[in-house]
Structure 1
């Protein structure tokens, strides 16, 4: 089999990876092999944390709705259950925004649901 000289293609590949890891500490930004490993690790963490962010934001919405409900003397699961029974289609994001920005409207929604 003939020898393949990769030349500038390999250099370009290594250069791009080292550029990606330029802010990393120590050998993780200097040596190609460790930089490549850290790049793969960083991208895996980024993927994981993008998914976790969605989870955290949903938890925040639920906490805000629950706090607003408890000010009115009701519980979160009661309002969600009543909304599903009455076919009121407001998601948690919108409910949380209404609860924070306009509490009177939120309590109006709660009364409309029948809580």
Structure 2
């Protein structure tokens, strides 16, 4: 039986790892054993942070909405409650963008939300 020379396969595998490790510091970019560990860990971080990114952005939209709605004399929670009672189904991302770029349209949403809320006891 003839012997199998694996140099080509190994080189291809290493090339793939080194390509993913491009830009890393020190031996993490050019030593296969360390680069492999670094790339594996970076993939774990990437997977985790794709989930975290969604949370972070939602929190940002909520903060922006709270700030924008307070200018109209409401709080964020009462605004969202009012939208729900008014039957308006629009997500926080769009509302946040609207508050920044189209204040007049956003003000109309705030007024509709206010109208659907019961009068506040003072």
TM-score calculated relative to the size of structure 2: 0.83
- Residue of structure 2 in register with 1:28 after alignment: 28
The runs of 5 or more residues in structure 1 that have no matched partner are none
Aligned residues between the structures: 114
C-alpha deviation, 1:52, in angstroms: 1.6
The runs of 5 or more residues in structure 2 that have no matched partner are 118-122
Counterpart Cα distance in 2 of 1:64 and 1:56: 12
Q: Is the 8 A contact 2:83 2:112 kept in 1?
A: no
Q: Is the 8 A contact 2:72 2:110 kept in 1?
A: no
- Residue of structure 2 in register with 1:37 after alignment: 37
Task: State the Cα RMSD in Å.
Answer: 1.8
Counterpart Cα distance in 2 of 1:54 and 1:85: 26
Matched ranges for 1:41-60 at <5 A: 41-60=41-60
Counterpart Cα distance in 1 of 2:106 and 2:7: 66
